[in-house]
Chain A
Amino acid sequence: MITARGRFTYKRKVMEFAELIKTPRVDGVVLHRPFMPTVEGTLCLTGHHLILSSRQDNTEELWLLHSNIDSIEKRFVGSLGTIIVKCKDLRVIQLDIPGMEECLNIASSIEALSTLDSVSLMYPFFYRPMFEVIEDGWNSFRPEDAFKDLESMTDEWRLSEVNKDFSVCPSYPPLVAVPKDVDDDTLRKVATFRHGGRFPVLSYYHKKNGMVMMRAGQPLTGTNGRRCKEDEKLINATLRPGKRGYIIDTRTINVAQQAKARGGGFESEANYPQWRRIHKAIERSNVLQESLIKLVEACNDQSHSMDRWLSKLEASSWQTHVKEILTTACLAAQCIDREGASVLVHGTEGTDSTLQVTSLAQIILDPACRTIRGFQGLVEREWLQAGHPFQQRCAQSAYSNSKPRQEAPVFLLFLDCVWQILRQFPCSFEFSESFLVLLFEHAYASQFGTFLGSSTAERTKLSLPEKTVSLWSWVNRPQELERLTNPLYEANSLVIWPSVAPQSLLLWEGVFLRWNRSSKCLDEAYEEMVHIIEYNKELQNKVNSLRRQLAQLETEDPLLQMT
């Protein structure tokens, strides 16, 4: 079982892992999981997994990636040790290990293995797919293919190779869509004026009225009010004659003002007279991480007081963040669809709140993003290729004891917002909630290389497409797709406007209460729903085929119609 999984290619690395594993195997370990029977069995540690299997029937009971472990706690009662394992997917499990030494060894091994610093030691580099890859996910969503779709709608944009060696903007992909009339030299100049070199690029083209959404890093105006004519030219090139556009700054005006002191800033009215700037208040990453930790703590508090629960939920501010992000996304979508105006979105770096807004706005505006494949494309374009630093943001989750560095549940908040819209339009998404949960899990710990690295440049350097398997390769197979499909889906070509009233937004139980309650009753009801839908489909098919048969008979023999 272990050898099947661990056909390690690099002997040196095997040695490294072997040094970390002090006790590879312990018998008589008892596993406790919420709402599941306890299992007694043998605990095995491999370079990447914690495995527990019961000896009776030798079936797999638990395979846990070390990288999924957020933190552990040890407790001893006599010689019986207990390790509480807290996972990044928010699950908490308990292992009772006989023997103090074994327990200490296991604990220190898990700690070491779950905090490996080197990306190249991560499991995706060792994982070999046990399934047939129908389509290589690494090639499924290339910028040039997306651009072909754009070209079929408009000729106002071009695909620039200015960043092909990642020198202009390290966090951008090699190919980006920019206004046709803006040349690469201009782009290079603009890049020096935008945070992280993130010059404005096309994020979304609204087919209905030709309006666009762009995203960028903050302009580096500084305290002196520096300006950049090329920057002004670039974004003005996206405006129709006589039309105005909107700049949505995801920060409050105060935060944006303060950014000037550090060389950042925002577009002044004087230099951008054709643009109207709107400030919103999406929080920065460390605040969000704090919020997640508080929320998860509230959800795990099993005390029975209603007041305590509600006040903890409020104090976590998680729902406030959800509302703020959704509201901003709706605003961007409204500017485009209702006002018929183009929009530029940015915050500070343009890699976090900016992407939440641009991606959610597309969910609202573009029916294609609500399909399984379209949503993958959205995550590719607006998150992976757009340079959201997954490696840093998802290094730790809600249980980590170590001091947070760059961690933040930015992507999880985006998924939560999608889930809110899905709840309000349960028939308009091709995928079900489980797809969102799956993406959450894989963003934090995965056998696939998709979420490793923080930019296309890093992924190229790590040779991820050559050395690892893409999550999309796994997802885009019939059996997986079926599991992720929403049975209620019926294509809806309209713009979908969610309600952002607090009464309309809910706690995402599928993630935050997932391990705190039995979902048996809800699962069974869901199953019933699937059966009702399938039964109806089957009936309709039969009726139609009989109708056809009858109609055919009647055409063959017109006399039949008389009887």
Chain B
Amino acid sequence: MEHIRTPKVEQVRLLDRFSNKSTNGTLYLTATHLIFVESSSNNSASAGQEIWILHHHIASVEKLSLTTTGCPLVIQCRNFRVVHFVVQRERDCHDIYSSLLRLLRPVSYEELYAFSYNPKQNDQQREEGWQLIDLGAEFERMGVPCDQWQLTDVNRDFKVCETYPRDLYVPITASKPIIVGSSKFRSKGRFPVLTYFYQEKKAAVCRCSQPLSGFSARCLEDESMLQAISKANHNSRFVYVMDTRPKLNALANRAAGKGYENEDNYSNIRFQFVGIENIHVMRASLQKLLEVIGTRSLSMSDYLVGLESSGWLRHIKAVVDAAIFLTKAVTVEGASVLVHCSDGWDRTAQVCSLGSLLMDPYYRTIKGFMVLIEKDWISFGHKFADRCDQLDGDPKEVSPIFTQFLECVWQLTEQFPQAFEFSEWFLLQIHEHVHSCQYGNFLGNNQRQREELQLRERTHSLWAFLMSEKQNYLNPFYSPAYAEAHPVLAPSTLPYNFKFWRNMYHQFDRSMHPRQSILKTILTLRENSRKAESSLQALESRLQQLGVTPVTTSDPPAPPPTRDQLSNSNTLPPRPDSLILGAPINHKEVQRQEEDGDEQEELGEEAMESTDTERTVEGSSGTESRKQSYGELEGTYNSELAKEEPAVVSLEFGVARMTC
């Protein structure tokens, strides 16, 4: 609290990012959040709109030069929220600005929200939450250990590689000297280990960092290590080595004594570059993208040119292409694959996890997806603390690598709407919490650091929280039968299959979203069906109690037929292109939309029936747009004229209201 100079500033204006709309309210600064509360006098219908911004979510605060109306303060968040306040008095603005500057740059882990966040659970509940994901069990599920792969205790004390977890799986024939020797020949000691085992073909996906080969160095133990991986798979005479970097980058690394495997030195390998760019390129790319889409009155041409020149979708496609290469090698050729980049914790994590997701339907379930992230990202040491800028660190280490992974998954959900148990909302929520520092899971850079921080004892697990809210994240179109029929996904990577993920990068810019969401509607219908099923039962038993036979047959209607029953109907009904529309809502938002309904009533429109279906119909006017002068009409039609919805809708999933 000592950093907070002004806990409350009144008469603050919140400007909409893409229009000329604004709302008045009060700004509160707490130890964990910046809160904007709309003053109730504005408009009775939208009274009390609140925006809660977690300090950890704030990426930058900018104080613009003083204007006649006050002092502007622009806050950019890591969850892509951008808010623009105008504070009346310059001194207040400065106080908030300097308080935030300090608050958003914590210097020690202890300052992070996770260490003070308390969702009213006892120690036992918390402990159970942490036990939800068990990687030992996950390897068992894959069929490891087995006759060719074993658990090694070589890294029990993080001695061989401090950024790897304690438990690692290696080929049976890889002895300790081989492992240790190999680790010395690999950047940061990250020697080849198993990350996924494709049981059907006994093919392994292994990961590591680049070899310290320089221009000519070789290491017999490392060569034996790869030989051991190759031998562990009887289906293939060779093992693929995928260097996920562009060749040029790998070549440049040779000058620094690093590099890539020389095919002459390693027997039975097939070496392949796949050309995913490095963290700096990705960071610049996202920055460019956000700049483009943040432009007001953006023209279609500038949008498409900007989308292209940002390179963002090109990078997304490169990651998916690499994952497809991996998947084909493993599932079609039955070959084992060793994946690496430079340090083996960014591109390698992307490709290994996305590849596993393509070949194993389990990872497309809610629980499985958690396991996947836990395994390939958290335990294998993706540097979340550095990449997500959890502490005041080196800005050059920050990069949206994990965001890219989530986006790749989203692109796949668009192509395969029935293959995933979770909806887009699940991905958005994970993204939210990777940056929130509210749960312990993503804190720190590796397992060793997490143990030192005693996260399991001092913080809560996100997975337990998400699991408790599972209902919110279900994809209503998910079909386990589909997963069974299509264990391996083969997405198309023709460029037009990659779309701009509006619901991620504009998740708080509601004016850009579809006004009605199919996902939301269908989820509500599902919920209604569940309720109807139980009332049907209750009614039937009541009638039977009275000795009356129900008028309808006592069988409930046949549930939707499964895929197999449908497979012979070859005339398919027409369909929209994408079924996943709209962004997540919380209860507050539902309430808001109902209020909007009232507002419409006020205008003398035919009143909306406020049914419990919560189907929100948005459309007609807000009062302020009616006050527009003729002068403003001269300009182009803007979306500000097109909506009555508040500019910003709180989307915190109840996260924000927990403390302070």
> Are A and B a genuine interacting pair, yes or no?
yes
Q: 0/1 per residue, A324-343, Cβ < 8 Å to B?
A: 00011011001101110000
Cβ-based interface call for B415 (8 A)? yes
Q: Are A304 and B533 in contact (CB under 8 A)?
A: no
Q: Are B415 and A546 in contact (CB under 8 A)?
A: no
From known contacts A504-B512, A543-B539, infer whether A499 and B642 are also in contact, taking CB-CB under 8 Å: yes
Q: Are A527 and B572 in contact (CB under 8 A)?
A: yes
Which residues of chain B have C-beta atoms less than 8 A from A306's C-beta?
A: 308, 313-314, 317, 495, 498
Q: Are B477 and A493 in contact (CB under 8 A)?
A: no
Q: Are B540 and A546 in contact (CB under 8 A)?
A: yes
Q: Are B479 and A314 in contact (CB under 8 A)?
A: no
B541 smallest CB distance to A (angstroms):
11
Q: 0/1 per residue, A298-340, Cβ < 8 Å to B?
A: 0100101111111101100101101100011011001101110
23 A-B pairs, CB-CB below 8 angstroms? A304-B493, A311-B304, A314-B301, A319-B304, A330-B641, A424-B516, A426-B514, A426-B517, A426-B581, A427-B615, A428-B516, A432-B575, A437-B574, A494-B618, A497-B620, A499-B513, A504-B514, A523-B573, A526-B576, A533-B525, A535-B560, A545-B551, A546-B543
What is the chain B residue whose CB lies nearest that of A316?
Answer: B304
Cβ-based interface call for A241 (8 A)? no
Give which listed residue, B311, B516, B529, B532, contacts A425 with CB less than 8 A. B516
Q: Are A546 and B536 in contact (CB under 8 A)?
A: yes
- In Å, the complex CA distance between A519 and B572 comes to 10
Q: 0/1 per residue, A528-547, Cβ < 8 Å to B?
A: 11111111101110110111
In the complex, given contacts A433-B576, A502-B302, A521-B417, what are 16 additional A-B residue pairs having Cβ atoms less than 8 angstroms apart? A305-B495, A307-B311, A310-B308, A323-B299, A331-B637, A493-B605, A494-B619, A497-B620, A499-B513, A499-B639, A500-B637, A524-B566, A525-B418, A543-B536, A545-B552, A550-B542
From known contacts A503-B512, A529-B579, infer whether A543 and B532 are also in contact, taking CB-CB under 8 Å: yes
Which residues of chain A have C-beta atoms less than 8 A from B41's C-beta?
A: none
In B585-625, which residues have CB < 8 Å from any A CB?
600, 604-606, 608, 615, 617-621, 625
- In Å, the complex CA distance between A494 and B542 comes to 41
Number of A-B contacts (CB under 8 A): 293
In B20-73, which residues have CB < 8 Å from any A CB?
none
Cβ-based interface call for A228 (8 A)? no
In B547-566, which residues have CB < 8 Å from any A CB?
548, 550-552, 556-557, 559-561, 563, 566
Q: Are A536 and B529 in contact (CB under 8 A)?
A: yes
- In Å, the complex CA distance between A415 and B300 comes to 19
From known contacts A492-B619, A521-B418, infer whether A323 and B300 are also in contact, taking CB-CB under 8 Å: yes
A418 smallest CB distance to B (angstroms):
13
Which residues of chain A have C-beta atoms less than 8 A from B303's C-beta?
A: 502-503
- In Å, the complex CA distance between A500 and B573 comes to 29
Q: Are A528 and B639 in contact (CB under 8 A)?
A: no
In A326-371, which residues have CB < 8 Å from any B CB?
327-328, 330-331, 334-335, 337-339
Q: Are A427 and B516 in contact (CB under 8 A)?
A: yes
Which residues of chain A have C-beta atoms less than 8 A from B642's C-beta?
A: 330, 497-500
From known contacts A427-B521, A495-B619, A532-B476, infer whether A501 and B557 are also in contact, taking CB-CB under 8 Å: no
In B515-530, which residues have CB < 8 Å from any A CB?
515-518, 521-522, 525-526, 528-529
Cβ-based interface call for A403 (8 A)? no
- In Å, the complex CA distance between A522 and B574 comes to 10
Task: List residues of chain B with CB under 8 Å of any chain A CB.
Answer: 18, 293, 298-305, 307-308, 311, 313-314, 317, 415-419, 476-477, 479, 482, 492-500, 502, 506, 511-518, 521-522, 525-526, 528-529, 532-533, 535-536, 539-540, 542-543, 545-546, 548, 550-552, 556-557, 559-561, 563, 566, 572-579, 581, 600, 604-606, 608, 615, 617-621, 625-626, 628, 630, 633-634, 636-639, 641-643
Q: Are A501 and B512 in contact (CB under 8 A)?
A: yes
- In Å, the complex CA distance between A208 and B516 comes to 23
- Per CB-CB distance, the 8 closest pairs between chain A and chain B, nearest first, are A526-B575, A434-B574, A497-B642, A309-B495, A531-B560, A502-B303, A525-B417, A314-B304
Q: Are A330 and B556 in contact (CB under 8 A)?
A: no
Q: Is the interface of A mostly helix, strand, loop or mixed?
A: helix
Cβ-based interface call for A405 (8 A)? no
What is the chain B residue whose CB lies nearest that of A492?
Answer: B617
Q: Are B539 and A500 in contact (CB under 8 A)?
A: no
From known contacts A338-B626, A502-B299, A535-B560, infer whether A497 and B641 are also in contact, taking CB-CB under 8 Å: yes
B131 smallest CB distance to A (angstroms):
35
- In Å, the complex CA distance between A314 and B306 comes to 10
- In Å, the complex CA distance between A498 and B579 comes to 18
Most B CB atoms within 10 A — which of A328, A335, A497? A497
B616 smallest CB distance to A (angstroms):
9
Which residues of chain A have C-beta atoms less than 8 A from B572's C-beta?
A: 523-524, 526-527
Q: Are B579 and A524 in contact (CB under 8 A)?
A: no
Interface size class of A (residues with CB under 8 A): 35 or more
Cβ-based interface call for A483 (8 A)? yes
Give which listed residue, B513, B575, B605, contacts A525 with CB less than 8 A. B575
Give which listed residue, A304, A524, A527, contacts B494 with CB less than 8 A. A304
A520 smallest CB distance to B (angstroms):
8
Cβ-based interface call for A121 (8 A)? no
Q: Are A338 and B528 in contact (CB under 8 A)?
A: no
B613 smallest CB distance to A (angstroms):
9
Most A CB atoms within 10 A — which of B535, B546, B642? B642
B281 smallest CB distance to A (angstroms):
14
- In Å, the complex CA distance between A523 and B579 comes to 10
Which residues of chain A have C-beta atoms less than 8 A from B578's C-beta?
A: 522
Most B CB atoms within 10 A — which of A437, A494, A560? A494
Which residues of chain A have C-beta atoms less than 8 A from B535's C-beta?
A: 543
- In Å, the complex CA distance between A521 and B528 comes to 26
Q: Are A535 and B559 in contact (CB under 8 A)?
A: yes
Which residues of chain A have C-beta atoms less than 8 A from B415's C-beta?
A: 521
- In Å, the complex CA distance between A426 and B641 comes to 21
- In Å, the complex CA distance between A115 and B552 comes to 60
From known contacts A492-B619, A539-B529, A543-B535, infer whether A503 and B502 are also in contact, taking CB-CB under 8 Å: yes
B224 smallest CB distance to A (angstroms):
38
Q: Are B511 and A501 in contact (CB under 8 A)?
A: yes
Which residues of chain A have C-beta atoms less than 8 A from B477's C-beta?
A: 525, 528-529
Q: Are B546 and A523 in contact (CB under 8 A)?
A: no
Q: 0/1 per residue, A415-437, Cβ < 8 Å to B?
A: 00000001111111000111001
Q: Are B575 and A522 in contact (CB under 8 A)?
A: yes
Give which listed residue, B518, B560, B618, B637, contacts A330 with CB less than 8 A. B637
